[in-house]
C-alpha cells in the first residue's frame, strides 16, 4: 500500500489516462457551468464548493455551509464471533451504528424534517434497531482541517461522540423515535416486490437455459405474500409498537494506529478514485478503515427507569468505518463488506455498485424533460470493488475507474427453499504485484437470509425526507476467491462472516448493464 507505487503502475497507461482526464475535466466543467445556470440557488453551489474544499478528507464533515438538499452519514460496524461456535456452525454478533445529518430540499422545507440522527442496528435486546432523532443544532463538528490531521474526525450529537478512533453513545429515551407502522409496511411492500421481480427474472433465465418450451422449470411467479411473509408480520409490528422506548449507552474504542486506511494519492484521493473529482455527484462514498480490532466495546439498552434491558460486549471484535454524503442515496445500488475471514485475518473486502446520474440530479431531471432520448446516457453503473489482502499488504482494485479493470458478471439469485439471496460478482484487474500481462480475478458470493435485515432509513428523493428504504444486513456470509488468471495460482480462497449487505432498487438494471 505505498502511494509511490501508483505512479509506477500507471506510467504505461499514463498518456492515455491524461487525455482521458483532460476530456473528463472538460465535460465536467461544461456540465458544472450548465449546472450553475440551472440552479443558481446556493445549496447546490455550497455542496460543490464543499467537495472541492474537503478533497482527500472524506471522513470529515462536508456540510458546514450547506443549509438544504444534503445528507451525510457515517457507518461504524462491529462484528464478533461468538465463543464456542465452530467453523461449520459459526454464530457471529454483528452491529452497526449509523449516524449523520439530513437537510431536506428547500422546497420540501419543514423544520421537523431537517435533523441529526443516530441509528443503532443489531442490538441484543427484544428490539434489534432504533432511531434517535436530534435537532440539527445538537450536531456539532469538532473535526480538524489542519494538514496532516485529515483523519482527526470528531462529531458530537447531543451527548454522543463519534470520532475516528472512538464512539460513545448516550442516547436518551426522549430522542427515541419509533418508526411508524405505515412507513415499515410501505417498505416491506417494496422490498417484497423487489424479491418477487428477482425471482421472476431468475425463473425466466432458467427457462431459457433449459430451452424454450421445457415445462420442468418453474415459471409460476411466487405470490408477493410469500416474500412479504419473510418480513415481520403486521401483528408483530403492532406488538412491537407497544413496547417501551429505550435508552442506549455504549463505548467503543479502536485506536487509530491499528486501523487499515486506504492509501491516498492525487489520482485516488478516496475509494472513488478519479471519479471523486466529479463535483456534484448525487452520492459520494468514503472508506475510513478497512479493518481494525475493537480494543474495547460495550453496549447496553435501558428503560427510562434505568433498568437494563440487554447488554453486549465487542471486546476483541473487528471494526470497519465508512461513510456517504451528498444530495440523496442512489435510486438503485448494491453494497457488501466483509472483514472477518477464516483463513486471512486482517483482510477486507468492499464491493458496491450503483446507478450513477453522473451529471447530478438537476441536469438529469432537465434532460428527462427536454431531451428524453438522451436519458440513458445520463446514468452509468459505477462499481467500487476492492479486496485488501492483509498477509501480502496488497490492495486489489477492480473499481470501474481502474483503466484495466473489468466487471465481467453480476447476478442476484434467490434460493427460495433456503430462504436466501446471493449476490455473485466476477471481476478482473491488473495484478499489482505481477507483470504487465498478468491479471487477477475476483469471484465473490455474498449470501444473506431474506427478510432478516434491519429496516434502515435513508434520504429519499421522491419523498423529500428520510424514509425506510433499505434492508440492512450485518451478518451475511461471503465466499471469496482470488486468483492469477494466466498462472492459475490461487491467492485467496476463503469465507467471510458477519458481512454487511444491501441490495436496493432495480437490481435487474445493474445486472443488464454489467452482463450485456
Residue 420 or 424: the one with the smaller Cβ distance to ligand NAG is 424
For residue 51, the minimal CB distance to ligand NAG (Å) is 16
**Of 218, 209, 201, 115, the residue nearest 157 (C-alpha):** 115
**Of 403, 431, 407, 386, the residue nearest 510 (C-alpha):** 407
Rounded Cα distance between 144 and 422, Å, is 41
Residue 405 or 470: the one with the smaller Cβ distance to ligand NAG is 405
For residue 114, the minimal CB distance to ligand NAG (Å) is 32
**What is the CA angle 315-316-319, rounded to 5?**
95
Residue 6 or 189: the one with the smaller Cβ distance to ligand NAG is 6
For residue 271, the minimal CB distance to ligand NAG (Å) is 5
Diameter over CA atoms, the chain: 67
Residue 82 or 516: the one with the smaller Cβ distance to ligand NAG is 82
Please give the radius of gyration of the chain, using alpha carbons only, rounded to the nearest integer.
23
For residue 118, the minimal CB distance to ligand NAG (Å) is 22
Alpha helices in 256-378 (DSSP H): 360-370
Residue 273 or 346: the one with the smaller Cβ distance to ligand NAG is 273
For residue 484, the minimal CB distance to ligand NAG (Å) is 14
Rounded Cα distance between 98 and 349, Å, is 19
Phi, psi angle pair for 299, to nearest 5°? -145, 140
Residue 39 or 270: the one with the smaller Cβ distance to ligand NAG is 270
For residue 386, the minimal CB distance to ligand NAG (Å) is 6
For residue 251, the minimal CB distance to ligand NAG (Å) is 23
Which residue number is nearest to ligand NAG in terms of Cβ?
A: 397
Rounded Cα distance between 457 and 455, Å, is 7
Interstrand relation of 394-397 and 406-415 (parallel, antiparallel or unpaired): unpaired
**Of 381, 328, 378, 325, the residue nearest 352 (C-alpha):** 381
For residue 94, the minimal CB distance to ligand NAG (Å) is 15
For residue 134, the minimal CB distance to ligand NAG (Å) is 24
Residue 89 or 435: the one with the smaller Cβ distance to ligand NAG is 89
Residue 273 or 464: the one with the smaller Cβ distance to ligand NAG is 273
C-alpha cell at 19: 487525455
Q: How far is CA 112 from the centre of its chain?
A: 26
**Of 48, 22, 21, 23, the residue nearest 363 (C-alpha):** 48
Residue 172 or 432: the one with the smaller Cβ distance to ligand NAG is 432
For residue 144, the minimal CB distance to ligand NAG (Å) is 23
Residue 252 or 398: the one with the smaller Cβ distance to ligand NAG is 398
Question: What distances in angstroms separate CA 479 from CA 8, 191, 340, 431, one per listed residue?
Answer: 32, 25, 11, 21
Binding site for ligand NAG (CB under 6 A): 6, 82, 84-89, 91, 244, 262-263, 268, 271, 273, 303, 305, 307, 386, 395-397, 424, 432, 443, 445, 479, 481
Q: DSSP states of 83-102 as a string?
A: TT-BTTB--EEEEEEEEEEE
Q: Is 133 helix (H, G, I), strand (E, B) or coil?
A: strand
In sign, the C-alpha dihedral spanning 339, 340, 346, 347 is: negative
Alpha helices in 40-180 (DSSP H): 42-53
Amino acid at each position: 500500500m505505498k502511494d509511490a507505487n501508483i505512479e509506477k503502475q500507471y506510467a504505461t497507461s499514463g498518456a492515455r489516462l491524461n487525455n482521458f482526464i483532460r476530456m473528463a475535466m472538460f465535460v465536467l466543467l461544461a456540465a458544472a457551468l450548465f449546472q450553475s445556470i440551472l440552479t443558481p440557488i446556493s445549496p447546490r453551489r455550497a455542496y460543490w464548493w464543499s467537495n472541492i474544499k474537503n478533497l482527500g478528507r472524506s471522513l470529515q464533515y462536508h456540510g458546514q455551509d450547506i443549509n438544504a438538499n444534503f445528507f451525510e452519514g457515517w457507518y461504524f460496524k462491529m462484528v464478533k464471533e461468538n465463543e464456542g461456535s465452530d467453523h461449520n456452525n459459526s454464530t457471529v454478533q454483528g452491529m452497526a451504528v449509523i449516524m449523520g445529518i439530513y437537510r431536506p430540499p428547500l422546497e420540501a422545507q419543514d423544520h421537523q424534517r431537517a435533523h441529526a440522527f443516530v441509528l443503532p442496528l443489531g442490538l441484543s435486546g427484544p428490539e434489534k434497531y432504533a432511531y434517535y432523532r436530534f435537532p440539527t443544532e445538537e450536531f456539532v463538528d469538532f473535526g480538524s482541517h489542519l494538514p496532516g490531521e485529515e483523519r482527526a474526525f470528531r462529531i458530537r450529537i447531543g451527548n454522543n461522540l463519534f470520532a475516528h478512533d472512538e464512539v460513545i453513545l448516550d442516547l436518551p429515551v426522549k430522542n427515541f423515535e419509533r418508526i411508524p407502522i405505515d412507513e415499515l409496511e410501505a417498505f416491506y411492500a417494496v422490498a417484497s416486490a423487489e424479491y418477487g421481480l428477482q425471482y421472476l427474472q431468475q425463473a425466466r433465465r432458467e427457462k431459457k437455459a433449459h430451452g424454450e418450451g421445457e415445462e420442468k422449470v418453474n415459471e409460476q411467479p411466487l405470490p408477493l405474500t410469500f416474500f412479504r411473509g419473510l418480513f415481520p408480520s403486521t401483528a408483530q409490528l403492532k406488538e412491537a409498537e407497544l413496547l417501551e422506548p429505550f435508552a442506549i449507552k455504549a463505548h467503543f474504542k479502536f485506536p487509530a494506529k491499528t486501523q487499515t486506511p486506504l492509501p491516498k494519492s492525487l489520482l485516488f484521493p478516496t475509494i472513488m478514485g478519479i471519479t471523486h473529482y466529479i463535483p456534484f455527484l448525487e452520492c459520494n462514498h468514503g472508506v475510513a478503515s478497512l479493518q481494525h480490532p475493537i480494543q474495547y466495546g460495550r453496549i447496553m439498552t435501558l428503560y427510562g427507569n434505568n433498568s437494563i434491558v440487554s447488554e453486549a460486549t465487542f471486546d476483541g471484535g473487528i471494526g470497519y468505518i465508512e461513510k456517504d454524503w451528498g444530495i440523496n442515496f442512489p435510486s438503485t445500488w448494491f453494497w457488501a463488506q466483509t472483514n472477518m475471514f477464516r483463513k486471512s485475518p486482517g483482510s477486507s473486502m468492499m464491493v458496491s455498485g450503483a446507478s450513477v446520474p453522473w451529471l447530478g440530479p438537476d441536469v438529469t431531471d432537465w434532460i428527462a424533460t427536454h431531451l428524453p432520448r438522451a436519458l440513458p446516457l445520463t446514468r452509468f453503473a459505477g462499481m467500487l470493488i476492492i479486496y485488501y489482502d492483509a498477509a501480502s499488504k496488497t490492495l486489489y482494485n477492480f473499481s470501474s475507474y481502474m483503466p484495466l479493470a473489468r466487471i465481467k458478471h453480476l447476478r442476484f439469485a434467490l434460493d427460495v427453499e433456503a430462504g436466501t439471496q446471493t449476490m455473485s460478482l466476477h471481476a478482473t484487474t491488473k495484478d499489482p504485484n505481477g507483470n504487465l500481462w498478468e491479471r487477477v480475478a475476483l469471484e465473490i458470493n455474498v449470501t444473506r437470509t431474506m427478510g432478516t435485515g434491519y429496516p434502515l432509513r435513508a434520504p429519499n428523493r421522491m419523498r423529500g425526507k428520510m424514509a425506510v428504504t433499505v434492508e440492512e444486513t450485518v451478518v451475511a456470509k461471503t465466499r471469496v476467491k482470488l486468483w492469477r488468471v494466466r498462472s492459475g495460482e490461487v491467492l485467496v480462497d476463503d469465507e467471510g462472516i458477519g458481512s454487511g449487505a444491501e441490495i436496493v432498487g432495480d437490481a435487474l438494471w445493474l445486472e443488464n448493464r454489467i452482463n450485456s
